[in-house]
Amino acid sequence: MSDLQQQALKYHAEPTPGKISVALTTPAETVDDLALAYSPGVAEPVREIAADPNNAYKYTAKGNTVAVISNGTAILGLGNLGPLASKPVMEGKALLFKRFANIDSFDIEVRHRTTEEFINTVANIADTFGGINLEDIKAPECFEIEQELIKRCHVPVFHDDQHGTAIVTAAGMLNALEIQGKDLAESTIVCLGAGAAAIACMELLIKCGAQREKIYMLDRKGVIHTRRDDLNEYKKLFANNTDKRTLEDVIDGADVFVGVSGANLLSPEALKLMAPNPVVFACSNPDPEIKPEIALAARDDLIMATGRSDYPNQVNNVLCFPFIFRGALDVRATKINDEMKVAAVEAIRSLAKEPVPAEVLEAAKVKELNFGREYIIPKPMDPRLLERVSSAVANAAIASGVANIEQE
C-alpha cells in the first residue's frame, strides 16, 4: 500500500469515521430549551408550515441544505461499485459545500432496480431540501434522471458531473482562446469522450458561442457521424455529416481538444496535427489523455489544462458547484437554468484576469499568478469566488424569472 493510500484511509477513519457531522444551531441545555426545540414548542412552526409551506424556509434549515444523491453507478473513474461505496465521495462533496459556501449537505445513497424507482425516491424527498445535487450517475441514465427530476421538483436539481464540469471548462476555454487569439465561434473543437460530462461541456460551449457543426465528438467506436446506427438520442445531437472516422482525422487542423475519456489517448503525433496555438484540455482523472510534460515537449505554442492539482490550470468542479448552489439558495431559485450557468462561466473567467491576493498565492504555494498560459482559471481556494459567482448566479436567477425572493 502506497503512502497516499495509507494517508487517505487514515484521513477518513480518524479521529472520527467519515468527514461530516451535524451541529446544533439553537440552545439545548435546559428544560425550557428542550420544550421549545421539541414538544410542546415544536408544534408552533408545524402549524405555520402547514398553513404556508414557504414558512419551512423561516422555521427550518431547508433553505441552506442540499442533498448530495448518488446510486454509485459511475464513481469517479472506478465505475459501478454500488451506492454504499459512493458514500465517501458524497461525504466529500458535503465537505466541499460546507468549506466553500457554508451550505449544509446530507449524502444520500440510493439502491434501486429501475431508473423510475430512483427518480421517484428523489422526487419524494426533494421538498426536505433547498436543492438536489446529483452525483456519480452513469450515462445515459443520468440525462433522463436529471430532466425528469427538474420537471417534478420545486427546488433546483443539478447534476454536477455534467454541468459543473461544463461551467469550469467553458470558463477556462474562453480565457485560453482569448490568450491564443482565437474566437470560439470560429474554432474547430475535438471532444474525445461522449458521456455525461462531454455532452454537457459541448452543449454549454455552444451556448457560449461555439458552432455545433465545428464540433467533432468521439466515443469508443470513433467519430460520431450521421451514418452510424448505434447512437443514443444524446450522441445524435453531435453526429457530424463527415467522412472522418478517427481521432487523427478530426484533430488535423483543430483549434481545441477536450478530453473526458481516459488516460494516454492523445499521442504527441496527433497533437502535432493541431492548428497553431491550440488549446488542450486533458481532463481525465487521475491520469490525463496526455501528460503536460509530454504535450509541451511536442509543441510549445499550446495552452494546457488538466483535472489535476499538481499541474497549472486545473479544471476543478469546486470552482463552480458550491457557488452556483449558494446563489440559487439565496434567492430560492426553483431551478438552475442556462442563464445561471452562463453567468457562472463569466464570473469565474473574469476573476482570473484580476490580481491574485497574497493569501491565494500562499495557499497555492506559488510566488505569483498572472493571467496567461499557466493561469487561465482561478484557484479553488480563492475566497472571492464565493461572492462573485454566487451573486452572478443569483442575479441571473432573478433576471430569468426563476427566483422566489430578491437577493439580500
Kind of pairing between the strands at 65-70 and 104-109? parallel
| Residue 34 and residue 28 in contact, taking contact as beta carbons nearer than 8 Å | yes
Q: For the chain, how are helix, strand and coil distributed in percent, rounded to 5?
A: 45, 10, 40
> How far separated are the first and last CA of the chain, in Å rounded?
50
| Residue 134 and residue 311 in contact, taking contact as beta carbons nearer than 8 Å | no
Cell of 177: 482562446
Among 125, 138, 122, residue whose Cα is nearest residue 72: 138
353 classed as catalytic:
no
Among 339, 314, 323, 292, residue whose Cα is nearest residue 172: 314
Query: Which one is catalytic: 62, 93, 335, 341?
Result: 93
Looking up cell 449537505 gives 105
| Residue 343 and residue 392 in contact, taking contact as beta carbons nearer than 8 Å | yes
Kind of pairing between the strands at 256-259 and 222-223? unpaired
Question: How far is CA 43 from each of CA 46, 49, 198, rounded to the nearest angstrom?
Answer: 5, 10, 49
**Would you state the torsion angle of the CA atoms of residues 293, 297, 299, 302, taken in this order, to the nearest 10 degrees?**
20
38 classed as catalytic:
yes
Residue 30 and residue 10: Cα distance in Å, rounded? 38
Query: Which one is catalytic: 10, 19, 38, 151?
Result: 38
| Residue 350 and residue 376 in contact, taking contact as beta carbons nearer than 8 Å | no
Per the DSSP assignment, residues forming a β-bridge with 303 are: 279
Please write down the HEC assignment for all residues of 149-178: HHHHCCCCEEEHHHHHHHHHHHHHHHHHHH
Burial of 142 (0-12, 13-18, 19+ CB in 10 A): buried
Burial of 220 (0-12, 13-18, 19+ CB in 10 A): exposed
Active-site residue set: 38, 93
